[in-house]
């Protein structure tokens, strides 16, 4: 083996080592989303927004087997993020006031892959057409 080949071999070993180390670093999987309230107006004209972030919304997260994984609350921008293992989850948005008919949101199914963040939008309907 010549001396010229040694630096190339060292570089190849370092690249292979870095690739193996990078493959072992796994990003956590999570569910990230936003809760929106709307429609806000019966009639809108662009660019008038017809939805607004819903802060303080509580969302229950259930595993595929029906077990409650946890509850998350949206921030003042209506956003939330919760780390979860890979799998399929059912998000159940709780009504802000259970005694009122609106606002309400439908449950959502979300699939989370390993090392990925699944994004979801939850629409709390106001009852306005």
Instruction: Report the CATH number at residue 42.
Output: 2.60.40.10
- In terms of Cα–Cα distance, which of 20, 52, 13 is closest to 35? 52
**What does the pLDDT read at residue 48?**
75
Yes or no: say if 104 and 18 are a contact pair by the CB < 8 Å rule.
no
Query: CA–CA separation, 64 vs 67, rounded Å?
Result: 7
**What does the pLDDT read at residue 21?**
52
**For residues 42-53, b (16+ Cβ closer than 10 Å) or e, as one string?**
eeeeeeeebbee
Yes or no: say if 35 and 46 are a contact pair by the CB < 8 Å rule.
no
Query: CA–CA separation, 93 vs 39, rounded Å?
Result: 17
Please write the tens of the pLDDT for every residue from 88-125. 999 999 999 999 999 999 999 999 999 999 999 999 99
Query: CA–CA separation, 24 vs 93, rounded Å?
Result: 35
Note down the domain range covering 52: 28-125
- 81: three-class secondary structure by DSSP: strand
**What does the pLDDT read at residue 12?**
53
Residues (pLDDT < 50) of the chain are none
Residue 10 is assigned to a structural domain of this protein? no
Query: CA–CA separation, 84 vs 62, rounded Å?
Result: 11
Q: What is the pTM of this model?
A: 0.77
What's the number of domains the chain is made of? 1
């Amino acid at each position: 083996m010549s001396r010229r080949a040694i630096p190339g071999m060292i570089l190849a070993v370092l690249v292979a080592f870095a690739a193996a180390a990078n493959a072992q670093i796994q990003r956590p999987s999570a569910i990230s989303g936003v809760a929106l309230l709307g429609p806000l107006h019966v009639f809108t004209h662009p660019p008038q927004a017809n939805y607004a972030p819903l802060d303080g919304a509580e969302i229950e997260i259930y595993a595929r087997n029906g077990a409650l994984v946890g509850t998350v609350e949206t921030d003042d921008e209506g956003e939330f993020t919760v780390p979860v293992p890979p799998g399929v989850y059912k998000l159940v948005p709780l009504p802000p006031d259970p005694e009122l008919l609106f606002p309400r949101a439908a449950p959502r199914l979300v699939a989370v892959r390993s090392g990925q963040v699944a994004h979801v939008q939850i629409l709390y309907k106001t009852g306005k057409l």
